């Protein structure tokens, strides 16, 4: 028997607000039953893993040991990075190379690291 990835979970102070950010990232809406102030929120893309956001009391401490890596579907890495920054991400580290390879490490509004790759 094997396992499958049911969801990727995000611990955060405000599940609805973080879900709204990630809904913009992946282009799928927050589940219609979710409301501001809820203890959890979900995004269920039909072609990818479910994103689950849950309220926790403690602040994020240290670097994520597991993180999401993204690749642009259409307009390229640099355009996608600009789009994500406009949504509210912040730049943490830039590892892009002139040949189009490399990646950028961004932080979501809760401080979770995620990458945008070139290939």
The pLDDT tens digits for 48-77 are 899 999 999 988 888 888 899 998 877 788
- pLDDT band (50, 70, 90) for residue 111: very high
Q: Are 51 and 95 in the same domain? A: no
Task: State how far the Cα of 49 lies from the Cα of 57, in Å rounded to an integer.
Answer: 25
User: Which residues span the domain enclosing 48?
Assistant: 7-58
Band of the pLDDT at 95, cuts 50, 70, 90?
Answer: very high
- Whether residue 118 lies inside any domain: the answer is yes
Same domain? 36 vs 11: yes
Q: Does residue 77 share a domain with residue 98?
A: yes
The CATH number of the domain where 95 resides is what?
Answer: 3.10.180.10
Q: What is the pLDDT of residues 30-47, one digit of tens each?
A: 999 999 999 999 999 988
Nearest one of 112, 114, 94 to 104, comparing CA atoms: 94
CA dihedral 71, 76, 82, 85 (to 10 degrees): -10
Q: Are the beta carbons of 23 and 30 closer than 8 angstroms?
A: yes
Which of 42, 58, 74 represents a domain boundary (last residue)? Answer: 58
In the predicted model, what is the mean pLDDT of the chain?
A: 92
74 and 48 housed in the same domain: no
CATH number of the CATH domain containing 31:
3.30.720
Whether residues 50 and 91 share a domain: the answer is: no
Q: Is the pLDDT of residue 85 over 80?
A: yes
Q: Give a yes or no: residue 2 inside a domain.
A: no
In a domain, 96, yes or no: yes
Same domain, 119 and 71: yes
pLDDT exceeds 80 at position 119: no
Distance between start and end Cα atoms, the chain: 32
Residues in the chain: 119
Task: Kindly tell me if the per-residue pLDDT of 1 is higher than 80.
Answer: no
In a shared domain, residues 39 and 87: no
């Amino acid at each position: 028997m094997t396992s499958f990835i049911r969801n990727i979970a995000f611990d955060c102070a405000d599940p609805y607000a973080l879900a709204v950010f990630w809904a913009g990232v992946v282009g799928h809406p927050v589940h219609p039953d979710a409301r501001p102030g809820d203890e959890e929120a979900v995004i269920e893309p039909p072609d990818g893993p479910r994103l689950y956001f849950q309220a926790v009391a403690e602040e994020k401490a240290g670097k994520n040991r597991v993180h999401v890596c993204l690749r642009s579907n259409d307009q390229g890495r640099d355009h996608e990075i600009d789009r994500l920054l406009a949504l509210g991400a912040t730049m943490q580290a830039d590892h892009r190379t002139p040949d189009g390879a490399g990646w950028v490490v961004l932080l979501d509004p809760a401080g979770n690291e995620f990458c945008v790759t070139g290939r």
